[in-house]
Amino acid sequence: GGHTEFCAMTLLDFEFREFVKKIVKETEGRDLKRISTERVVSGPALKYTYQFFQEKFPFLDNNLPEEICGRTHGIIEYAINKKDPICEMSLQFFLRHYGWEIGDYMLKINPQGGLFLMGGVTLALRDYIGKPEAGFLEAVYNKGRVSGMIQSIPIYILKREIVLDGAESYAL
């Protein structure tokens, strides 16, 4: 995201944006005028999303054990395995926004050789992200009249953090 502005498109998005501003003020003591995409689409952001849905829908069953409540991979696991409805909503929200961001990025740079995704959350989702129920690809390709252009561009998920491989070989 490069710390670009989070674009709220639905009422739920606007509510989430205000929730994140509130959390940042409470935890960091800062008044945000805007929030960046990284506060919505990143590993740490998934915790914000979970907290938001937990607060918004207190009547839903909360099956996520306390010891993994703040862990991104725990939220992902419980969402994919349909163990917790709040985790499921959180992951769907996350994947929709991740997809929108990836689709917008593809429109901006037109990566004819393909787009390579990496990172901890992407790796954790690699077996799930392409499934129709994930909603990620639908969000990526939902670009109106230019959808066909980006549908022809392959998307790859790197299996490892290759940046770390390069740093490790340089250090050795």
Per-residue pLDDT for the chain (172 aa), expressed as one digit of tens each? Answer: 567 888 888 999 999 999 999 999 998 888 988 888 888 898 888 999 999 999 999 898 877 777 776 788 899 999 999 999 999 999 999 999 999 999 999 999 999 999 999 888 999 999 999 999 999 999 999 999 999 999 999 999 988 666 566 656 655 5
pLDDT of residue 134: 93
Q: Is residue 62 within 8 Å of residue 103, measured between CB atoms?
A: no
What's the length of the chain?
A: 172
Q: Tell me the three state secondary structure of residue 51.
A: helix
Calculate the alpha carbon distances from 32 to 35, 74, 75, 137, 147 in Å: 7, 28, 26, 31, 34
Residue-level pLDDT at 170: 58
Check residue 167 and give its pLDDT: 54
pLDDT number for residue 16: 94
The Cα diameter of the chain in Å comes to: 54
CA angle (140 as vertex; 45, 127 as ends), nearest 5? 70
pLDDT at 38: 87
